[in-house]
């Protein structure tokens, strides 16, 4: 199987010669969520229409999350504040990026695919997430509001674990880990749909189930294209040797790498199951057809001698001795009934019924 590759994966890109500007006030429509923390302090606010973050050179770690792509001016101002390369801003605003990692020396640019499941429409929703990991700060850009980062925010608020004691690289790991862990939730729901479909194909193989099977196969291909490059991205973070990622964090990234491999293996298993379901569908349809043909054949076989008898006595020849007999009609009906019962008993004995 050919592995898809990501272009510009973990390569150093020179910075543009532009000074880092002061963090300007954002438009009122810009949805920015800021968390600044250290081991002993924590500050969180919704920075809408205000100075959106402590400076990136402050002590502690700053996490800035931006929702929505409707305000490119907000992205430009944040990019000016943190000295982001114009190519990065262009990629952030492009929603069809593949998962990848770019090393810009002073910061890492990471593209991920965050998945959600729409219960009403029974389909998978994909959202692009762009992460910027720098010295003492993490920037996250999302397509729209709503994400899987609430557990990370709660850990920051409560000071649980080592997240408040660690640096920005550990925060970036926590965000990536939250996205990958959510893949398992999505796969569990898809697995339930596959189990239901498999049972329905055996008991009631209707054409609608075939449409559902093709829909699931498309979703599996969609998931594979979204998740497969992520393995190379996380692997590059582990072995890339960037000074922004400390050795203590690489252990956790390797764990995420293992989880990503498990997700890919599960997706491949589901794809194999769905490929085999076409054979199950065809076999079930064939079995149903065979059952129908068996019933029709038995009915035809039972009525063949009865039709023969009725045909013989329906010829209306003048010199047929039975026609003038008083009991001929009930006797013929009795013979026909006995013949039908004998054939049914014979079929039952042969277990054809």
What pLDDT is attached to residue 294? 83
Quick one: fold of 31-283?
Beta Polymerase; domain 2 (3.30.460)
Report yes or no: 294 and 352 within 8 Å, Cβ to Cβ.
yes
Mean pLDDT taken over the chain: 80
Contact 99, 6 (CB under 8 A): yes
Q: CATH topology of 31-283 equal to that of 291-349?
A: no
Q: How many CA atoms lie within 13 A of 210 on its CB side?
A: 11
Q: What is the 3-state secondary structure (H, E, C) of 120-176?
A: CCCEEEEEEEEEEEECCEEEEEECCCCCCCHHHHHHHHHCCCCCCCCCHHHHHHHHH
Instruction: Determine phi and psi for 68, rounding to 5 degrees.
Output: 90, 145
Confidence of residue 56 (pLDDT cuts 50, 70, 90): very low
Q: Quick one: pLDDT at residue 30?
A: 58
SS (H, E, C) 281-332: HHHHHHHHHHHHHHHHHHHHHHHHHHHHHHHHCCCCCCCCHHHHCCCHHHHH
Radius of gyration of the chain (CA): 35
Reported as a single tens digit per residue, the pLDDT across 69-124 is 666 777 788 888 888 888 888 888 887 888 999 988 889 999 999 988 887 777 78
173-206 pLDDT, tens digit each: 999 999 999 999 999 988 888 888 888 887 777 7
Residues 102/108, Cβ–Cβ less than 8 Å: yes
> Is the model's pLDDT at 350 over the cut of 90?
no
Give CA angle at 1 (269, 227), nearest 5°: 60
Q: What is the CATH number of domain 291-349?
A: 1.20.58.340
Segments making up each domain of the chain, as ranges: 31-283, 291-349
Tell me if 58 sits within 8 A of 97, measured CB to CB.
Answer: no
Question: pTM here?
Answer: 0.74
């Amino acid at each position: 199987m050919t592995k898809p590759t990501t272009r510009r994966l973990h390569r150093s890109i020179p910075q543009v010669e532009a000074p880092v500007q002061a963090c300007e006030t954002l438009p009122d429509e810009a949805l920015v969520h800021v968390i600044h923390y250290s081991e002993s302090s924590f500050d969180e606010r919704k920075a809408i229409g205000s100075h959106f973050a402590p400076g990136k050179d402050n002590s502690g770690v700053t996490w800035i999350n931006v929702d929505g792509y409707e305000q490119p001016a907000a992205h430009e101002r944040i990019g000016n504040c943190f000295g982001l390369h114009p190519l990065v801003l262009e990629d952030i605003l492009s929603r069809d990026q593949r998962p990848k990692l770019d090393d810009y020396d002073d910061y890492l640019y990471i593209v991920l695919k965050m998945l959600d499941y729409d219960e009403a429409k029974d389909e998978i929703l994909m959202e692009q997430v762009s992460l910027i990991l720098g010295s003492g700060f993490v920037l996250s850009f999302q397509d729209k509001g709503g994400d899987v980062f609430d557990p990370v925010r709660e850990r920051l608020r409560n000071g649980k674990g080592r997240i408040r004691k660690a640096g920005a690289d550990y925060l970036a790991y926590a965000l990536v880990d939250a996205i990958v862990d959510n893949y398992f939730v999505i796969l569990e729901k898809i697995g339930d749909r596959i189990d239901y479909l498999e049972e329905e194909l055996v008991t009631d193989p209707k054409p609608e189930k075939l449409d559902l099977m093709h829909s699931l196969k498309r979703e599996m291909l969609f998931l594979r294209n979204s998740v497969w490059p992520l393995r190379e991205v996380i692997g590059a973070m582990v072995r890339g040797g960037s000074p922004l990622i400390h050795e203590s964090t690489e252990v956790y990234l390797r764990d995420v790498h293992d989880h990503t491999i498990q997700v890919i293996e599960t997706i491949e298993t589901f794809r194999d199951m769905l490929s085999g379901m076409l054979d199950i569908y065809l076999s079930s349809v064939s079995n149903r057809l065979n059952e129908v043909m068996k019933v029709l054949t038995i009915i035809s076989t039972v009525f063949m001698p009865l039709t023969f008898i009725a045909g013989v006595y329906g010829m209306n020849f003048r010199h047929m001795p039975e026609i003038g007999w008083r009991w001929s009609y009930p006797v013929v009906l009795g013979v026909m009934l006995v013949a039908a019962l004998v054939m049914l008993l014979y079929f039952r004995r042969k277990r054809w019924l």
